[in-house]
Amino acid sequence: MGKESFKLIANNKKAYHDYFIDEKYEAGIELFGTEVKSIRMGKCSVKESFIKVDRGQIYVFGMNVSPYEKGNIFNKDPLRVRKLLLHKTEIQKLDESVAQKGYTLVPLSVYFKGSLVKVEIGLARGKKLYDKRDDIAKKDQKRELERDFKVRNLKV
């Protein structure tokens, strides 16, 4: 077993701000050749995308893969619905979890694992406004502490 390379292509920071991520899953994604080439160039976005389970299959909606420059007639629609590849038992488990009130599926990141494109899926609960404010306050405190530490070390 050789060391697998890991290259992050797209990250969904907004998901961590808007949701509590309870569980994470790794899924393959069904792509065409020109889409893979475009993703290799880093032209992919999952910011406004979401995931739904439909008749035993799982799909990602709104994932933007820009058309490949040299792909001409082989390029597909950048916002087309793409099928995710998971085991049937995982899909059933996710479907049952989403059926519970307050849970949703969000794509967290797109990356290369070896030569394969993978999508990290998060089973998420929505945050309330006060939860978001708490997170922002903690982040500000941490930033302030780091700034104070840096200033103290420069004076010495």
Residue 155 lies in a domain: no
The tens digit of pLDDT for each residue in 74-117 reads: 677 777 888 899 999 998 888 888 888 778 899 999 998 888 88
Residue 64 lies in a domain: yes
What pTM, to 2 d.p., does this model score? Answer: 0.74
Residue 100 lies in a domain: yes
What local confidence, expressed as pLDDT, does residue 74 receive? 67
Q: In the beta sheet, which residues pair with residue 124?
A: 21, 104
Residue 132 lies in a domain: no
- Its domain, for residue 68, covers 6-127
Residue 33 lies in a domain: yes
Number of domains in the chain: 1
Structure tokens, 132:
């978001």
Residue 61: CATH number of its domain = 2.40.280.10
